[in-house]
Amino acid sequence: MKPCRLCKKQKVLIESHIIPKFIGRWLIKTSATGYLRDINKPNLRCQDIIKTKLLCKECEDLLSNDESYFADTIFHPYMNRKSHTYNLPYSKQLSRFCAGLSWRVLIYLTEIHDTDKSSEIENAESTLREYILGNSSNLGIYEQHLIPLEGGAIADFKCTKSNLNAYFTRTIDIDLLTIADRDHLIYIKLPNFILISNINYTHINKMRPSRITLKQGAIISKNYLLPPEFYKYLQDKLNFIANEFTDKISKTQSEKIMDSIKKDPERLLNSRTLKAVESDLHPNQFIFRDPKIPF
């Protein structure tokens, strides 16, 4: 037995998904082929997302309950909405979900990947953990910011890469961002959402529109702000995807992709993969494409 990363007790550990399992299932269900591909392993098809032995069953169940809340209250209602406007009320449980996901990603990036941890990062991990366990009712400076990605959210992006919408709507990504060699943010990219968890970002107060309250609130259609430093990060990320993923898929794997599409063309036509491609071809039609506009 090993210590559970959350409760710290010596228990049998089970495999835990870093990103909620339902996200992987949704990506597969709404894909053109029925498979996933890892950015770092573009020539390998997979049917699951990152998981590792991290938690005991009791702690896994604790976080899973919050994940189900996010799925039912925010994620699926947002994805299935019929217009650009939305109003999704939430309770304190959303802050628990965000804190739990941020904590899990932070543990994965620092402990599993053995990254050096500063005192600020250690304090963030401890505060998030105590909040998740119910030992604290306050997150202090470690605010959680959830940004829905739709037309208004990306209107000001001066991005020249053609894969922006595909990245926003069809990828999972995690990172520990360092800004100006001193400030840190936890960055989590889900399909159509960005979760930013503050560690010690100097200008976090300017991101108030996206802050998740610790009690009741609502995710509504409004202008959301990202850190200015994020724009270069995004450009670099899209370049990396183009160079390390899109351009490096082998001929064999390209043929497998085409074979999957040919076997079930109806799946392609109804997939969100196609919708993302269309959005990149017609950038002014993000998410909701006018059917009168040709490809």
pLDDT at 256 (0 to 100): 57
Q: Is the pLDDT of residue 290 over 60?
A: no
Between 22-31, 70-79, 186-195, the lowest mean confidence (pLDDT) is in 22-31
Residue with tokens 């498979």: 35
Q: Picking from 118-122, 217-221, 257-261, which range would have the lowest pLDDT averaged per residue?
A: 257-261
What are phi and psi for residue 202, nearest 5 degrees?
A: -60, -35
**pLDDT score of 25 more than 80:** yes
When pLDDT is cut at 50, 70 and 90, the band that residue 289 belongs to is: very low
First to last CA, the chain: 56
Q: Residue 154: pLDDT above 70?
A: no
pLDDT at 17 over 70: yes
93-98, Cβ contacts within 8 angstroms, sequence gap of 24 or more:
93/66, 93/69, 94/69, 94/70, 94/146, 94/212, 94/217, 95/139, 95/144, 95/212, 95/213, 95/214, 96/66, 96/131, 96/132, 97/66, 97/67, 97/69, 97/70, 98/144, 98/146, 98/195, 98/197, 98/212
10 Å CB burial of residue 201 (0-12, 13-18, 19+) is buried
Q: At residue 71, does pLDDT exceed 60?
A: yes
Q: Is residue 149 predicted with pLDDT exceeding 80?
A: yes
229 pLDDT higher than 50: yes
Query: Taking CA 159 as the corner, what is the angle to CA 149 and CA 176, rounded to the nearest 5 degrees?
Result: 65
Q: What is the pLDDT of residue 188?
A: 96
- Over range 235-250, report the average pLDDT: 72
Taking residues 105-111, report their average pLDDT: 92
CA distance 177 to 104: 16
Residue 202 makes CB contacts below 8 A (sequence gap 6+) with 183
Give dist(CA 137, CA 248) in Å, integer. Answer: 47
**Annotated domain spans of the chain:** 2-285
- Rounded Cα distance, 186 and 177, in Å: 6
Of 221 and 126, more confident: 126
Q: What gap in Å lies between CA 272 and CA 155, rounded to an integer?
A: 21
In the prediction, which pLDDT does 293 show? 35
Say yes or no to pLDDT of 237 above 80. Answer: yes
What is the SS3 assignment for 149? coil
Calpha distance 234→237 (Å, rounded): 5
Please, what is the average pLDDT of the chain?
82
The structure's pTM equals 0.86
Residues of the chain above pLDDT 90, percent: 48
